[in-house]
Amino acid sequence: MNVWLLLICMGVVTYAIRLSMIGLIGRVNLPSVVQWALCLVPPAVLSAIIFPELLMPKGTLDLSFGNLRLLAGALAAAVAWRTRNVLLTIGVGMVALWVLQAVIPH
């Protein structure tokens, strides 16, 4: 797909979702099962991206200590759990990866 057509489709989809309830109807109560499902979207989607990034950085499953991204990611997850700070999590994870890359031959 042409990149510009792709951008427009992504934009239309995003905008349609944001406009949905504002534009169509004034007062809508979503059924509670739909609300639950929507609350689960972020953890499900984001984890589906994170796990392969950490567990299979070269395309195959790698649970060894040679997998530096897994080590740095686990440390970042601990920081995120304790501090809930986005920037600190990114910073610690990135520095950890650089240090590991410098120390451990890969």
Partner 1 sequence: MAVVDTNHDLKRSPRSEFVAGVRAELPILLGVVPFGMIYGVLAVSAGLSVGAAMAMSSIVFAGSAQFVGVQLIHAGAPGMVIVFTTFIVNLRHILYSASIAPYLAQLSRRWKWLLAYLLTDEAYAVTITRYNQESASAVKSVNRHWYLLGAGLAMWTTWQVSTAAGIFLGAQVPSSWSLDFTIALTFIALVVPALRDRPSVAAALSAGVIAVLAFGLPYKLGLIVAAISGMAVGLWVEARLLSTGRRREREDSR
Single out the residue of 31, 58, 64, 87 in contact with partner 1 (rule: CB under 8 A).
Answer: 87
What's the min distance (Å) between Cβ of 47 and partner 1? 4
| Number of residues counted as binding partner 1 (CB under 8 A) | 69
- The Cα-based distances of 93 to 16, 29, 77, 83, 100 in angstroms read 35, 41, 9, 13, 11
**Is residue 104 involved in binding partner 1 (CB under 8 A)?**
no
- Residues 2 to 41 in contact with partner 1, rule: CB under 8 A: 3-11, 13-15, 17-23, 25-30, 33, 35-41
As a whole number of angstroms, the longest Cα–Cα distance in the chain is 60
DSSP H stretches of helix in 1-106? 3-24, 32-39, 41-55, 68-83, 86-103
What's the min distance (Å) between Cβ of 1 and partner 1? 3
In degrees, to the nearest 5, what angle opens at C-alpha 25 toward C-alphas 21 and 28?
A: 70
Residue type at 93?
A: G
Which residues are at the interface with partner 1 (CB under 8 A)?
1, 3-11, 13-15, 17-23, 25-30, 33, 35-56, 59, 61, 69, 72-73, 76-77, 80-81, 84-87, 89-90, 93-94, 97-98, 101
